[in-house]
Chains A and B, each alone.
Chain A
Amino acid sequence: MSHDRDDLPDRHAPELPAPRGPLSAGVLALLRGEVPPPGPEGADAADPYGDDLQLALYCCYELHYRGFAGVDPAMEWDPGLLTVRRAMERRFLAALRRDVPVHDDLRSAVKELLTEPAEGTSVTWFLRDEGELRHLREYAALRSVYHLKEADPHAWVLPRLWGRAKAAMVSVEFDEFGGGRAERVHAKLFADLMADLGLDTSYGRYLGPSPAPALAVVNLMSLLGLHRALRGALVGHFAAVEITSSPGSRRLAEAMRRTGAGPAAEFFYDEHVEADAVHEQVVRHEVIGGLLEEEPYLEGDVVFGMDATVFLEDRLADHVMACWRANGTALRAPLPDTVAAAA
């Protein structure tokens, strides 16, 4: 092969994961430079929420972030790979358009997000009240496919916004990226949390063990971030995350304290209680307000982004709780009991 970057591997790029079906096997083989691209027909036959399609899509998107060890960086814009990626995106997006219950308008969607159940039964409630360290470790491992690149998928939207929406979105992202201080970048704070929990903090380490519902949540962000046509949905997605994060983070901070997970583990969620209480206000009033002032016809997309986020998060929560209630693992394989302390 004549790829010009084979001699310059990214030292931090993760290993390619194992395939989970014919579609991901085809994409992974293509990434290794072995075979011609799989045809788009494969995507049409795959379960849009299943392991095979979600892993294949995740790997396509990862080329836009950190890439993979041994994969030519130029594959990011390989026409064959982009063709199969587009087929997978269409399948995923069509499933969401079909399955997501969408609110009539922005006001009702936001109102529902702002209403907290007095007593919940989902993951963060479970972890607060009865979670053990093994649950917290699994939760952190499957969330690491996002949190180790926290806020990165949302940075794609910046050139697609302007005026108030852009200024406000940049200010929230600046906060996510540590306000100019490397040690306070949220992805770094999450790596510190993982170290407290005895997890391997290497980027991409837990892609292989992460189940499809966890990958789908991140794939939605990448999908919405990478397509300018979906900028309204990206903003809605981001708002849903910021609005629901603060109360959930409070429960997770309590879980970390109760189990003695460690100071960095507590700090990550404590920081998100306060930060996201601010981000919620800025995103709702400035980012959404500013965007819809400029482009009012995007309201439906904003609502779709919110509702699709809730839909995929609920699917992930159902998966995790079903596994834990059955006393099993929420990952594709249980974590080793002890992990050598990460450097």
Chain B
Amino acid sequence: MPNDPSEQNRGPVPPGRGERAHRVVVPRRGPMLVDGPVEVELEDGTVVSSDRFRVALCTCRLSERYPWCDTSHRRRR
């Protein structure tokens, strides 16, 4: 079947061949937004993953759920 979804799962697709580039939004303030699913490799080598449609990656390093944003970057009164 030409449209069999399993066709898409035959190993990694070389860059630029059939897959759209993943967009990353890098704002001046606030988390970096990446189209999911993503795997993030942390400093100690652990890999965490999220299959959300978009993920917010912490850039201020204040998050208690690093690497995911938990809005800890916000100003406090």
A247 near B33 with CB under 8 A, answer no
B-chain residues with CB within 8 Å of residue A250 when the two chains form the complex: 64, 70
Closest B residue to A170 by CB, please name it: B53
Contact A282 B54 (CB under 8 A): yes
Given contacts A115-B77, A116-B77, A274-B65, contact A280 B53 (CB under 8 A): no
Inter-subunit contact A117/B77 (CB<8 Å)? yes
Asked whether B30 lies within 8 Å of A281 as measured between CB atoms, the reply is: yes
Alpha-carbon gap, A115 to B74, bound state (A): 6
Q: Mark A219-252, 1 if CB is under 8 A from B, else 0.
A: 0000000000000000000000000001100100
Complex Cα distance A175/B56, Å?
A: 14
Q: Is A118 touching B56 in the complex (CB atoms < 8 A)?
A: no
Interface centre among A250, A278, A281 (most CB of B within 10 A): A278
Inter-subunit contact B74/A116 (CB<8 Å): yes
Q: Mark A111-132, 1 if CB is under 8 A from B, else 0.
A: 0001111100000000000000
Residues of B within 8 A of A280 (CB): 71
> How many residues on the A side are at the interface (Cβ–Cβ under 8 A)?
20
Mark contacts of A259-291 with chain B using CB atoms, 8 A cut-off: 1 yes-contact digit, 0 otherwise. 000000000000001110110111000000000
Q: In the bound complex, what is the Cα–Cα distance between A114 and B65 (angstroms)?
A: 19
Which residues does chain B contribute within 8 Å of A179, judged by CB atoms? 51-53
Alpha-carbon distance between A175 and B35 when the two chains are bound, in angstroms: 13
Contact with A along B26-58 (1 / 0, CB 8 A): 000011010000000000000000111111100
Given A116-B76, A117-B77, A246-B71, A281 contacting B53 (CB threshold 8 A): no
- Say whether B75 faces chain A, with CB atoms less than 8 Å apart: yes
Question: Is the beta-carbon distance between A277 and B52 smaller than 8 angstroms?
Answer: no
- Report A-chain residues with C-beta under 8 Å of the C-beta of B52: 175, 179, 274-275, 278
Cβ A118 vs Cβ B76 within 8 A: yes
A108 vs B4: C-alpha distance in the bound complex, in angstroms? 50
CB-defined contacts of B65 to chain A, threshold 8 Å = 273-274
**Would you give the shortest CB distance from A128 to chain B, in whole angstroms?**
14
Separation in Å of the B47 CB from the closest CB of chain A? 17
**Interface status of A171 (Cβ within 8 A of chain B):** yes
Contacts A174-B53, A175-B53 known; A281 to B74 CB distance under 8 Å? no
Q: Which of B51, B64, B69, B74 contacts A278 (CB 8 A)?
A: B69
Which of B55, B65, B68, B69 is packed against the most chain A CB atoms within 10 Å?
B69
Q: How far is the CA of A114 from the CA of B30 in the complex (A)?
A: 11
Which residues of chain B are within 8 angstroms of A117 by Cβ–Cβ distance?
76-77
Give Cα distance in the complex from A115 to B51, angstroms.
29
Could you tell me the distance between the alpha carbons of A247 and B74 in the complex, rounded to whole angstroms? 10
Query: Which residue from A115, A247, A281 sits with its C-beta under 8 Å from B56?
Result: A281
- The residues of A that contact B55 with a CB separation of less than 8 Å are 278
Contact call B56/A278, Cβ cutoff below 8 A: yes
Taking the nearest CB of chain B, how far is it from the CB of A227, in angstroms? 28
Over the window 169-196 of chain A, the binary record of Cβ atoms lying under 8 Å from chain B Cβ atoms (1 yes, 0 no) is 0010011000100000000000000000
Q: In the bound complex, how far is the Cα of B51 from the Cα of A250, in angstroms? A: 21
Known: A174-B53, A175-B52, A275-B52. 4 other contacts (CB 8 A): A118-B76, A179-B51, A274-B68, A281-B33
Residue contacts A-B, CB under 8 angstroms, 10 given: A117-B76, A175-B53, A179-B53, A246-B70, A246-B71, A247-B74, A273-B65, A274-B50, A277-B56, A277-B68
Q: Which A residues contact B (CB, under 8 angstroms)? A: 114-118, 171, 174-175, 179, 246-247, 250, 273-275, 277-278, 280-282
